[in-house]
Structure 1
Amino acid sequence: MPSSEVTLALYVPLIAKDDKISDLTAFLGAGYDLVQEEPETIQWYGIRYDDHSPPTFAILDTFRGESGRKAHLTGKVAEALGAHAPTLLAEGPTSTSPLRPSKSFLAGALPLFEAETETLNAYILQFPGTDRFAIVDFFENDAGRNAHLGWRDREAAVRECRCVVGGPPRCVKFTVIAASVNV
């Protein structure tokens, strides 16, 4: 089953203590080694929001099923995060409910993402029990990210998004600190 067939995701925002930004960055970098022992974690990303206050990081994980999600939540990354959270974080980690890749919202956007040669991965996620969605894109470099943000059909997509969700999308740029991607 290819990595594109993930069925669940977790998104865990992490607010760093002001004096622990470099320590949290190092912790997420070390997470790569820990997640290697989780074969059912298909993608694991440790990220830092660019130009954001308070200093915000996050972990985004994807899974093909519930067994992978459960194994991850009881695995070494979760254990290490629980042990280091009081030292590194301004507030405890707040895991979202399992997110499901959306099959209907913005389904017409898939050909647009596929046409972007510099978009490495794109997810459209729906927060369970809500009408809230997130689009998460990954790029090899700033040139790819800037090309995506300036794509020729962007205005049409924003107009469509306003029709569907009642307002313009909020764009948050982030930097990937560490990533593990299994196929």
Structure 2
Amino acid sequence: MANVGLLVPLVAKPEKSSAVADFLNTGYSLVPEEPLTLQWFAVSYESSSPPTYAIFDTFAADEGRDAHLNGKIAAALMQNAPELLGVGPQIGKVNVLASVVRPVKDGGKTAGVGCGLRVLIQAKPEKAGAVRDFLKNAVPLVEEEPETPYWYAIEFPGTNTFAIVDFFPDDNGRTAHVQGKVAAALFGSVDELLTGTPEIIKTQVLAARV
């Protein structure tokens, strides 16, 4: 079970966008050398300027995360960052509060998903515990969504910031999720629990291993 993870946005230099995508495809080929990496996703943010990509990956414990951070993918990222990125990699360590993982049979290079969402949630300080509970309790609702094979609720420890990262076969599945019970409950709780409306970024999946 995934208990910890990393969410690493990569802001590309405008002229290096395709090179960053190529780098992530190289990273995909190295994931099998990391037996403690449970799930690994490389995405691009839709309609972002400057062009932005991200890696989201999960681990059972800090041991796996530390091994990844000391492994070939991270080393290659740090080596190539000055050439490819407009700003240095922002390595966000996260705790995985809850997840739904339903691997798609014969999913190919993208593990059967083509698009996703990254939803950033800022809790009121006194409501962080309630947001944490809300996300944990959302699992049964996500399990009712057949077109949501991968869903993660995460927390940035030491802050009041949470996020949902999820992936869908296509835009129909993503739209169904946005119009579903979890999203309705989350947006219905904004005034009570959050400092503002969650920030939603649509993503395209470049490569994934699960």
Q: Compute the TM-score of the two structures, normalised by the length of structure 2.
A: 0.79
Identity fraction in percent: 45
Match of 2:177 among 144, 148, 169: 148
- Which 10-residue stretch deviates more, 145-154 or 8-17? 145-154
Offset at residue 169 of structure 1 (A): 1.5
Q: How big is the shift at 1:152?
A: 5.5
Q: Does residue 99 of structure 1 match 2:99?
A: no
Q: Structure 2 residue aligned with 1:51, among 47, 50, 57?
A: 47
1:1-183 → structure 2 map (5 Å cutoff): 5-96=1-92, 98-102=93-97, 104-151=133-180, 154-181=183-210
SS at match of 1:94: coil
2:42–2:56: 8 Å Cα contact kept in structure 1? yes
Identify which range, 106-115 or 130-139, moves more after superposition: 106-115
CA RMSD of aligned residues (A): 1.5
The 1:13/1:154 distance shift into structure 2, 3 A limit, reads closer
5+ residue gaps, structure 2, are 99-132
SS of the equivalent of 1:77 reads helix
Conserved 8 A contact 1:31-1:178: no
Residue type matched to 2:162 in 1?
Answer: F
Task: Mark the runs of 5 or more structure 1 residues left unpaired by the alignment.
Answer: none
Return the alpha-carbon distance in structure 1 between the equivalents of residues 185 and 74 of structure 2: 40
Q: Deviations over 1:32-53 (max 9, x none)?
A: 1111100100011111000111
> Any idea what SS the aligned residue of 2:75 has?
helix
CA distance in structure 1 between the aligned counterparts of 2:169 and 2:182, rounded to whole angstroms = 21
Q: CA separation in 2, counterparts of 1:154 and 1:79? A: 37
How many residues are paired up? Answer: 176
Q: The residue matched to 1:69 in structure 2 has which SS? A: helix
Using a 3 Å threshold, how does the CA distance of structure 1 residues 12 and 154 change in structure 2: closer, same or farther? closer
Which structure has greater strand proportion? 2
Distance 1:153 1:180, change over 3 A: closer
